[in-house]
Structures are given as C-alpha cells and as structure tokens.
Amino acid sequence: MTERDLQAPKDAATAVRSAESRPAVMFDVAKLAGVSHQTVSRVLNGSPNVRPATRERVLRAVDELGYRPNAMARGLVSRRSKVLGVVSFDTVLYGPASMLLGIERAARAAGYGVSIVTMEQVDRAGVLAATNTLVDQGVDGIVIIAPQLATAGALRDLPDRLVAVAVEAGQDIGLPSASVDQIEGARLAVRHLLDLGHRTVWHIAGPNDWLEARDRMQGWRETLHAVDASVPPIIGGDWSARSGYEAGLVLAAQPDVTAVFAANDQMALGLLRAFAERGIRVPADVSVVGFDDIPEAAYLSPPLTTVRQDFDEVGRRSMRTLLRLLEADGANHEPAPPPVVPTLVLRESSAPPAQR
C-alpha cells in the first residue's frame, strides 16, 4: 500500500467531517468506505458474511471518523426492531401535526413502535441528519414528512438501500410517496364557489416553498382557466391567521371581491376577522372557503366551508407501502399509492353572490 493510498481515506474523512459539524453517524462511515449502511452494521456486529477487504475498509473508515456505534443498533442486526422512524419538523400547523399523528396511529395498528426525530433545520442537511439519527437507532424503516421544496430535494440523496417512504413530498423524488391530492382539493373549493354563481374566486396562498401551497394554487388557477374566468392576483400568506387577517384588509378594499379561497383554515380565520372589522358580511357580501377542516372550523362565525383531508388514510397508505418494502427487503417494486382524495365540507360561509 502506497503513502498516497493511506492518505486518501484521511482526506476523505476530513471532507466528511467538514460537511457538517456533528458526530459521525453510520451513513458517514458507509459513504467513506463505499458500502451500504447494512454492510457497516454487519462489520460492527462481527458477521462472517463480509469479505476481508471490505471489513478492513469499513474499520478503517470507523477509525478515521471516530465513529461510536449505537448500542441499540448493534443489537438489531439479525432481527427486526419493530420500531419505525419518522422524520418530521417542529410545527404547530394543523395539517403537518395531524399527518404525523395519522402515521403514528397506523404504525401502532401494525404492531410497530415509533421513534420521531424532529429536524433542527428544515432543509437538506436537516433531513439527512435526522435520517442518520434514526438509522443509528436501528429502526426497520423510515417515513419522512417532507412538504417543502428544500426537504423534498434531499430525498434524492438518501442511500439507495434505505427503506423509506415520503409523505407530501411531490413526484420524482426516488421514493414511494403517500399524499393528499391537493390540486383536486383546491378544485373542489373553487368549483363550489363558481357553481354558486361567483364570476371568479380570489386566492390567499400559502408560502411558495411549500409543495402543498403550490398544488393548491395550481388547482385554483386551472379551475378558473377551465371556465374562462378571470384570474385575480394572488395574495400571499404564511399559513398564519395574522397573514389571513392582513390579506383580508387588502381584499376588503376591493369592491369586486365576492368569493375567496384561503389555502388553509387559519388564514381563513384571520380573513373572517378582517371582514368583520370592515363591515363585510360573510357570506352575504363575500363567500369564504378554507382548507384542512380544523376542529374549530365548525364553530367559527360563520361556520366555515372547507376542504377536509383524511390524515389517517395517508398514514395507513404510507405504512402499507413501507411494510411491503420491508417484506421485499427494501426492493422498490411497490407502486406509489394513489393520492388520497379530499372532500368538501359545506357549512355557512359560502352562498350565491348578492345581486348588485
């Protein structure tokens, strides 16, 4: 072995360490050694089914990175842990929080425990760090809730043999994905308002870096185009009631507004407050439709017409897909489950436009 051969792993190890200021995890060892994380696990647990040259390469990477194997992961080489990992992010938003609960319910119904890791940063590095943590815990498979562009993009960089399913991560991400048909949900809301007789529908959109917000915007726009209705300028929000309130003040100054589709119920709530302060009656003057069907939606004034997502069904579909992948030892021959179709919940905030 030449001096150059000995130096190469050290240079690679330095590059791995400098990528992120955190302790080395099994994925780092696998990357440096050029093997799968399953091979690293077999080496660390003394499995005889590893070629000597591969074993030496893995052990050298362990030494270079100063990797300290997780005791739980070492004990799970020859059997299933019956624990599934979930990567999520810190949020009080109803939709993502309910999605997480639906996944946890489905896992427990299938006889699995759940280990949840919250991303410290909602970006590519955050996804990879959270996934590494779960791999080191020895989970059987991972569900990743990735509704933002930055997090969804990170899924393409996950190890090929990682058994994982994404939720609300869009298309062409390299993983099976479970989702709600957000475009159809928006169509339901806008069609309802157009069928009531409104000439067009204004839209308060969610943040542009959220895939769900983009899909709801697309559904809104396509539905208006389909009937040759005018497409008003989009008013941007950030999912909060405050942003809905601020959008409502803008809309209240537009005399031609008769119908508004808010991309979530929290923004619709703020919109209702702004309209009430400006003396605009809902639905006598302006109809409002939200999205999510939060528990409070039926008790707003007026009760809110909205689009309901079946988060429990998303959890069940993601879990079925993950368990089938586990049965196939990670071989991804499983087609992605079809999107869950949302439903329109009719209440008192929508009505035909007043005659003017």
CB–CB of 38/31 below 8 Å?
no
Same fold, 3-74 and 182-308: no
Closest CA to 212 of 302, 119, 298, 314: 314
How would residue 18 be classed by pLDDT, with cut points 50, 70 and 90? very low
Helices (H), the chain: 3-19, 26-33, 37-44, 52-65, 71-74, 94-109, 124-137, 149-154, 182-195, 211-226, 241-252, 265-277, 311-327
Closest CA to 289 of 197, 206, 214, 185: 185
Whether 350 has a pLDDT exceeding 90, the answer reads yes
**Tally of CA atoms within 13 A in the half-sphere of 5 that contains its CB:** 4
CATH ID of 3-74, from 2.120.10.30, 1.10.260.40, 3.20.20.70, 1.10.3720.10: 1.10.260.40
Q: How many CB atoms lie within 10 A of CB 9?
A: 17
Contacts (Cβ under 8 Å, ≥6 apart) of 265: 94, 290, 291, 292, 293, 294, 296, 297, 304, 306
Domain ranges across the chain: 3-74, 83-179+311-340, 182-308
Q: Distance (Å, rounded) from C-alpha 293 to C-alpha 183? A: 16
Whether 161 has a pLDDT exceeding 80, the answer reads no
Whether 36 has a pLDDT exceeding 70, the answer reads yes
Contacts (Cβ under 8 Å, ≥6 apart) of 176: 165, 166, 321, 325, 332, 334, 335, 336, 337
Q: What is the mean pLDDT of residues 178-200?
A: 97
Provide the pLDDT for residue 60: 87
**Phi, psi values for residue 115, rounded to 5°:** -115, 120
CATH ID of 83-179+311-340, from 3.20.20.70, 3.40.640.10, 3.65.10.10, 3.40.50.2300: 3.40.50.2300
Provide the pLDDT for residue 10: 46
3-state secondary structure at position 135? helix
**Tally of CA atoms within 13 A in the half-sphere of 165 that contains its CB:** 30
**For the domain bounded by 182-308, which CATH number is listed?**
3.40.50.2300
Peptide bond before residue 338 is cis, with ω within 30 degrees of 0: no
Amino acid at 121: Q
Give Cα 149 distance to the centre of its chain: 9
3-state secondary structure at position 92? coil
Question: CA dihedral defined by 314, 214, 332, 143, rounded to 10 degrees?
Answer: -50
Amino acid at 95: G
Per-residue model confidence as pLDDT tens digits over 42-94: 777 666 678 888 888 888 888 788 776 553 444 344 356 789 999 988 677 88
Q: Distance (Å, rounded) from C-alpha 92 to C-alpha 101? A: 13
Provide the pLDDT for residue 72: 40
343-345 and 306-308: which strand pairing? Answer: antiparallel
* Percentage of the chain lying above the pLDDT 70 cut: 85
Q: Which of 2-11, 315-324, 346-355 has the lowest mean pLDDT?
A: 2-11
